[in-house]
């Protein structure tokens, strides 16, 4: 019965995809395929300045010379890049479900468990187009007004290109150059939209910025590009993603996130990723190939990544910090959960260049079902990084004997004053732990939830409060059915 | 020789794959182009190098050729066979080390000599077998092949030593060795490898061990010589209750580059493996350590510990450490750790307050760092021998 439901969800998703191509091509989407014309056309439709068009074309030309990397410990059938439409207007309403009754009941059950209000459920499931959302619109605009007063620019990427081209031009591609890697290059050529944020010198952003508020840029699809700049002494916390499973029609997501922290600036970037992971047999699901990188350019700057990855069929993501300024700090806190046939190859890179730079890595991988979960991380201390310090801890938890947990750290040290430590452990949930919980009246599933949450506590502590609560619930849902 | 087919296959493979490049993940940090581009046209000559025999059983090779005059294998107990690998008819040769890499393929195709040690079931040989490879012929290639078979409930200790002159030979020579070890059920094989080749030599070795049920295998690898070197150590725990210990110490200076790739395959349940690798690097030396533990599905109750610690004595020394775990079973105890740093200032200060001058204190702490690996050496003569080697190296670096 359950399987059938999932099928219908798949069909639904598939349908929308299909119809999106045939109808209304003129007005809001380009035909599938990728060539220079398409890249130029995307740029033209977005009314972009000349330099940006050329930048995209340069990226595309470079992409043509590249090959898809194979080093990650993930397996998937080859992607036909010519079968993807690289530009579609914000929302295709043609085949969206007319009401919640048409939406996969399992998805709805999940929303309910997360305690998401009905209206939001509709938005998430794609019943209602986002641009028509009632309260949120006003909410969003109120916040934007407040931010503008402080000089903070927070808008969609396209808007930023129109309104603040000088800022975009100054920073775009300086952290993740268009030649960086296969997926980043593809993104550079065809990115559709994303968010842009600039916090002027000395300003502390008074609220957590979130894609949630950024209604106009929502649903920008698969090639999102985010650029966040914290000028001297600025401070900003950014939340990305959505805590409920996104109903999404795209298979391939190749996003790029660039962070720039100048002197004394602080950026905290939190992600909760819960894209559609595919069904129990591994059908469907999102391929999440993301390049995220932050530059601590100035002295005493700090960039902190926190991620909770529970969704996607394949996650391929290494949020990194380049610690260039003296005394700069990089942090990476991660929980990656894989169940059923999910695959995750995720970790971080910490590149120490400046003196007295510090980095902390805490990674928790949980693998259940037949999933494969890998930590892959690089810590590089360059010759100039006097007294650099790194501490890495990677813990894996295995639930069941058909899953895998792997650790692939890369440590490169070129300065004797550096102190680098790496530790990794592997555990499973002890039968005695479960038994103890059972005899205290907790169901096995609840007990697993409790133990797993304890395992991830170090990371959840780093999340902004409202996110942390949902992340905990999410963990429980992701691991459902993995025990017993 | 019945290995014609094996050699032919390996040669074909060597010719098709060629030398690895740094684009390959397994060779990312070690550029073998100096070997690939060098011309090895050196003539064989007897070696004039002296060595110190560790005990009564000793097998000596001069530039890759067995020298019976300098060896001593008389009065072996019953059930013990020691000799040239060319006289060995064991069909298992090439079964473990076939053509994993270009180096193994080249060895299989072209090996000219090497050691064969066969210990019959139930025989315990307490005297360590000391195999000495002397190399001082400029521009020579020595493809040496060793085959060690330790029978059921048998015991053997092997010390494999590669010696070159202490000053450069001018035209570098290349040692390309492969050692295959079979430890049958309940057997115990302790293997030591000491590498002190000439400062400009190339040294590559692949060691493959197959460990049976309730068998134990240990490997201690000490590397101080060579300009460019690599050890590939690969163990397979193929029977329940097997145990593997792989420890190592690399002491590098000047522009030496030494790479250790270790791979431990837990193929069945209830096995232990412990690895401790330490490196001390001075000048512009570069050390690479990659350790991979694979715990296969259903290899439950595996206990695997891996640790890599590095001490940098100079500003220009560099270390790459890649301790990796690949786990497909849930009831396992696996940990790994890696550290890179310099000597503890506070420990130095403490010694100073006790009246020990900084130079001496430095030497003491450095030796103590290396000593953790030496402590694990069970074979008395080998421990003393390696200890002296480490001490001599430290004195040289300090002086």
Is A176 inside a domain boundary? yes
Q: Assign A423 a pLDDT band (cuts: 50, 70, 90).
A: confident
Q: Which residues in chain A touch residue B329, judged by CB atoms under 8 angstroms apart?
A: 398, 401
Q: Indicate the Cα dihedral angle A258, A259, A263, A264, nearest 10°.
A: -170
Query: Among candidates B172, B220, B257, which has minimal Cα distance to B386?
Result: B220
Q: Assign A99 a pLDDT band (cuts: 50, 70, 90).
A: low
Query: Among candidates B215, B206, B156, which has minimal Cα distance to B180?
Result: B206
| B187 and B95 assigned to the same domain | yes
- The closest CB to that of B327, out of A71, A422, A426, belongs to A426
Q: Which residues in chain B touch residue A408, judged by CB atoms under 8 angstroms apart?
A: 322, 324
A161-183 pLDDT tens trace:
888 999 999 999 999 999 899 99
Q: Which residues in chain A touch residue B338, judged by CB atoms under 8 angstroms apart?
A: 409, 411, 420-422
- The closest CB to that of A416, out of B313, B326, B327, belongs to B313
Is A38 inside a domain boundary? yes
Q: Cβ of A424 under 8 Å from any chain B Cβ?
A: yes
- Count of structural domains within chain B: 2
Cα of A176 to nearest chain B Cα, Å: 22
| B394 and B336 assigned to the same domain | no
| B208 and B76 assigned to the same domain | yes
| B387 and B253 assigned to the same domain | no
Q: Cβ of A404 under 8 Å from any chain B Cβ?
A: yes
Evaluated on CA atoms B100, B104, B108, B113, the torsion sign reads: negative
Q: Count CB atoms within 10 A of the CB of residue B353.
A: 7
- Cα–Cα distance, B309 to B81 (Å, whole number): 38
| B337 and B369 assigned to the same domain | no
Q: Assign A89 a pLDDT band (cuts: 50, 70, 90).
A: low
| B32 and B62 assigned to the same domain | yes
| B94 and B162 assigned to the same domain | yes
Q: Which residues in chain B touch residue A421, judged by CB atoms under 8 angstroms apart?
A: 337-339
Contact flag A398-B317 (C-beta cutoff 8 Å):
no
Q: Which residues in chain A touch residue B306, judged by CB atoms under 8 angstroms apart?
A: none
Interface probe, candidates B263, B293, B327, chain A, greatest A C-beta count within 10 A: B327
Compare all CA atoms of chain B with the CA of A418 and give the residue at the minimum distance: B341
- The closest CB to that of B327, out of A406, A412, A419, belongs to A406
Residues contacting A414, CB < 8 A, separation 6+:
A380, A381, A382, A383, B316, B317, B318, B319
Could you tell me if A470 and A271 are in contact, meaning their C-beta atoms sit under 8 angstroms apart? Answer: no
Is A150 inside a domain boundary? yes
| B356 and B290 assigned to the same domain | no
Q: Number of residue pairs across A and B with CB atoms under 8 Å? A: 114
- The closest CB to that of A411, out of B321, B331, B333, belongs to B321
Q: Cβ of A400 under 8 Å from any chain B Cβ?
A: yes
Q: Cβ of A428 under 8 Å from any chain B Cβ?
A: yes
Percent of chain A that is helix, strand, coil (3-state, to 5): 35, 30, 40
Q: Cβ of A425 under 8 Å from any chain B Cβ?
A: yes
Structure confidence at residue A79 (pLDDT): 81
Is A412 inside a domain boundary? no
Is A396 inside a domain boundary? no
Contact flag A407-B314 (C-beta cutoff 8 Å):
no
Domain final residue, candidates B343, B373, B388? B343
Whole-number Cα distances in Å, A188 to A39, A56, A257, A452, B385: 10, 6, 11, 38, 60
| B254 and B137 assigned to the same domain | yes
pLDDT above 80 for A16: no
| B309 and B367 assigned to the same domain | no
Is A113 inside a domain boundary? yes
Q: Assign A142 a pLDDT band (cuts: 50, 70, 90).
A: low
Could you tell me if A129 and A98 are in contact, meaning their C-beta atoms sit under 8 angstroms apart? Answer: no
Cα of A310 to nearest chain B Cα, Å: 20
- The closest CB to that of A428, out of B297, B322, B330, belongs to B330
Contact flag B341-A420 (C-beta cutoff 8 Å):
yes
Compare all CA atoms of chain A with the CA of B283 and give the residue at the minimum distance: A416
How would DSSP label each residue in A305-370?
EEEEE---SEEEE--EEEE-STT-EEEEEEEEEE-TT-EEEE--EEEE-STT-EEEEEEEEEEETT
In this prediction, residues A417-430 reach a mean pLDDT of: 86
Structure confidence at residue A134 (pLDDT): 33
Q: Which residues constitute the domain of residue A276? A: 22-317
| B162 and B240 assigned to the same domain | yes
Could you tell me if B160 and B191 are in contact, meaning their C-beta atoms sit under 8 angstroms apart? Answer: yes
Contact flag A408-B322 (C-beta cutoff 8 Å):
yes
Structure confidence at residue A241 (pLDDT): 67
Q: Which residues in chain A touch residue B335, judged by CB atoms under 8 angstroms apart?
A: 423-426
Q: Which residues in chain A touch residue B24, judged by CB atoms under 8 angstroms apart?
A: none
Is A419 inside a domain boundary? no
Contact flag A417-B342 (C-beta cutoff 8 Å):
yes
Q: Indicate the Cα dihedral angle B12, B18, B24, B26, nearest 10°.
A: 70
Q: What is the pLDDT along chain B (399 residues), one digit of tens a residue?
A: 457 888 888 888 888 888 998 888 889 899 999 988 888 888 888 888 888 888 788 999 999 888 888 888 888 889 999 988 888 877 888 888 777 788 999 998 888 899 999 999 999 998 999 999 999 888 899 999 999 999 999 999 999 999 999 888 888 999 999 999 999 999 999 999 999 999 999 999 999 999 999 999 999 999 999 999 999 999 999 999 999 999 999 999 999 999 999 999 999 999 999 999 999 999 999 999 999 999 998 899 999 999 999 999 888 899 999 989 999 988 888 888 888 888 888 999 999 999 999 888 988 999 999 999 999 888 888 899 999 999 999 888 876
| B282 and B383 assigned to the same domain | no
Give φ, ψ of A211 to 5 degrees.
-65, -20
- Cα–Cα distance, B76 to B89 (Å, whole number): 20
Domain final residue, candidates B305, B326, B343? B343
- The closest CB to that of A424, out of B320, B328, B335, belongs to B335
- Cα–Cα distance, B201 to B170 (Å, whole number): 9
pLDDT above 70 for A393: yes
Whole-number Cα distances in Å, A446 to A50, A114, A314, B36, B383: 57, 15, 27, 60, 54
Q: Which residues in chain B touch residue A419, judged by CB atoms under 8 angstroms apart?
A: 339-341
- Cα–Cα distance, A242 to A218 (Å, whole number): 11
Q: Which residues constitute the domain of residue B367? A: 344-399
Percent of chain A scoring above 90 in pLDDT:
32
Largest pairwise CA distance in chain A: 69
Evaluated on CA atoms A172, A177, A183, A188, the torsion sign reads: positive
Contact flag A403-B335 (C-beta cutoff 8 Å):
no
- Count of structural domains within chain A: 1
Interface probe, candidates B275, B289, B338, chain A, greatest A C-beta count within 10 A: B338
Could you tell me if A291 and A257 are in contact, meaning their C-beta atoms sit under 8 angstroms apart? Answer: yes
A227-243 pLDDT tens trace:
999 999 999 988 876 65
């Amino acid at each position: 019965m359950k399987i059938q439901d999932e099928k219908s969800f798949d069909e639904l998703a598939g349908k929308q995809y299909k119809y999106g191509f045939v109808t209304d091509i003129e007005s809001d989407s380009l035909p599938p395929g990728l060539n220079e014309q398409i890249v130029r056309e995307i740029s033209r439709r977005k009314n972009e300045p000349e330099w940006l068009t050329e930048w995209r074309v340069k990226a595309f030309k470079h992409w043509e010379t590249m090959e898809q990397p194979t080093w990650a410990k993930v397996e998937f059938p080859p992607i036909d890049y010519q079968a993807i439409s690289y530009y579609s207007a914000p929302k295709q309403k043609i085949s969206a479900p007319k009401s919640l009754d048409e939406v996969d009941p399992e998805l709805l059950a999940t929303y309910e468990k997360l305690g998401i209000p009905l209206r939001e459920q509709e938005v998430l499931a794609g019943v209602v187009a986002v641009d028509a959302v009632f309260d949120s619109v006003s909410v969003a605009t109120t916040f934007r007004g407040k931010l503008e007063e402080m000089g903070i620019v927070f808008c969609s990427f396209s808007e930023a290109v129109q309104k603040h081209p000088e800022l975009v031009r100054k920073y775009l591609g300086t952290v993740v150059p268009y030649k960086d890697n296969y997926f980043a290059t593809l993104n550079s050529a065809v990115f559709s939209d994303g968010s842009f944020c600039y916090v002027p010198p000395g300003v502390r952003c008074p609220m957590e910025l979130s894609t949630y508020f950024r209604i106009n840029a929502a649903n920008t699809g698969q090639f999102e590009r985010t650029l966040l700049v914290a000028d001297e002494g600025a401070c900003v916390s950014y939340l990305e993603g959505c805590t409920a499973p996104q109903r999404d029609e795209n298979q391939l997501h190749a996003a790029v996130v660039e962070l720039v922290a100048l002197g004394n600036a602080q950026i905290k970037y939190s992600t909760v990723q819960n894209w559609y992971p595919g069904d129990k047999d591994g059908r469907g699901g999102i391929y999440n190939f993301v390049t995220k990188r932050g530059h601590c350019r100035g002295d005493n700057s700090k960039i902190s990544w926190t991620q909770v990855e529970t969704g996607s069929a394949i996650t391929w993501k290494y949020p990194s910090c380049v610690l260039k300024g003296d005394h700069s700090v990089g942090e990476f806190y991660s929980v990656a959960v894989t169940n059923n046939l999910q695959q995750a190859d995720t970790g971080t890179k910490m590149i120490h260049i400046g003196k007295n730079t510090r980095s902390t890595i805490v990674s928790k991988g949980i693998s259940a079902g037949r999933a494969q979960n890998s930590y892959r991380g690089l810590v590089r201390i360059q010759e100039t990084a006097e007294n650099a310090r790194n501490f890495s801890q990677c813990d894996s938890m295995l639930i069941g004997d058909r899953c895998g947990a792997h650790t692939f750290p890369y440590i490169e040290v070129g300065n004797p004053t550096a102190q680098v430590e790496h530790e990794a452990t592997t555990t499973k949930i002890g039968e005695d732990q479960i038994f103890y919980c059972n005899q205290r009246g907790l169901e096995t599933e609840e007990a697993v939830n409790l133990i797993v949450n304890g395992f991830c506590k170090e990371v959840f502590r780093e999340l902004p409060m409202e996110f942390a609560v949902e992340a905990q619930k999410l963990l429980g849902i992701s691991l459902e059915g993995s025990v017993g | 020789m019945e290995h014609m087919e094996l050699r032919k296959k390996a040669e074909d493979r060597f010719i098709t794959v060629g030398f690895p490049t740094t684009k390959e993940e397994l060779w990312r940090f070690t550029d073998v182009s100096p070997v690939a581009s060098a011309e090895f046209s050196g003539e064989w000559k007897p070696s004039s190098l002296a060595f110190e025999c560790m005990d009564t059983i000793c097998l000596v090779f001069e530039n890759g050729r067995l020298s019976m005059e300098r060896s001593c294998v008389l009065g072996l107990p019953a059930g013990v066979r020691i000799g040239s690998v060319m006289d060995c008819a064991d069909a298992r040769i090439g079964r473990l080390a076939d053509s994993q890499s270009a180096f193994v393929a080249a060895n299989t195709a072209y090996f000219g000599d090497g050691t064969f040690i066969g210990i019959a079931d139930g025989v315990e040989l307490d005297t360590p077998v000391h195999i000495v490879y002397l190399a001082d012929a400029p521009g020579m290639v020595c493809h040496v092949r060793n085959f060690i078979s330790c029978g059921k409930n048998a015991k053997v200790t092997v010390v494999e030593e590669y010696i070159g002159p202490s000053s450069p030979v001018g035209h570098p020579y290349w040692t390309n060795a492969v050692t295959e070890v079979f430890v049958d059920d309940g057997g115990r094989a302790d293997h030591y490898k000491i590498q002190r080749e000439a400062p400009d030599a190339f040294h590559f070795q692949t060691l493959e061990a197959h460990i049976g049920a309730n068998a134990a295998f240990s490997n201690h690898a000490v590397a101080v010589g060579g300009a460019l070197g690599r050890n590939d150590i690969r163990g397979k725990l193929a029977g329940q209750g097997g145990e593997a210990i792989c420890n190592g110490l690399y002491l590098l200076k000047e522009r030496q580059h030494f790479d250790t790739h270790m791979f431990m395959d837990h193929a069945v349940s209830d096995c232990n493996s412990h690895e401790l690798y330490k490196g001390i690097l001075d000048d512009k030396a570069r050390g690479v350590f990659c350790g991979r533990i694979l715990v296969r599905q259903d290899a439950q109750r595996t206990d695997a510990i891996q640790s890599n610690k590095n001490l940098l004595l100079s500003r220009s020394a560099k270390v790459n450490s890649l301790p990796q775990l690949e786990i497909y079973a849930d009831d396992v105890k696996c940990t790994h750790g890696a550290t890179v740093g310099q000597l503890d200032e506070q420990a130095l200060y403490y010694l100073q307050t006790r009246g020990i001058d900084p130079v001496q204190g430095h030497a003491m702490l450095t030796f103590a760092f290396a000593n953790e690996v030496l402590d694990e050496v069970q074979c008395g003569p080998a421990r003393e021998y390696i200890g002296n080697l480490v001490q001599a190296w430290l004195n040289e670096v300090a002086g």
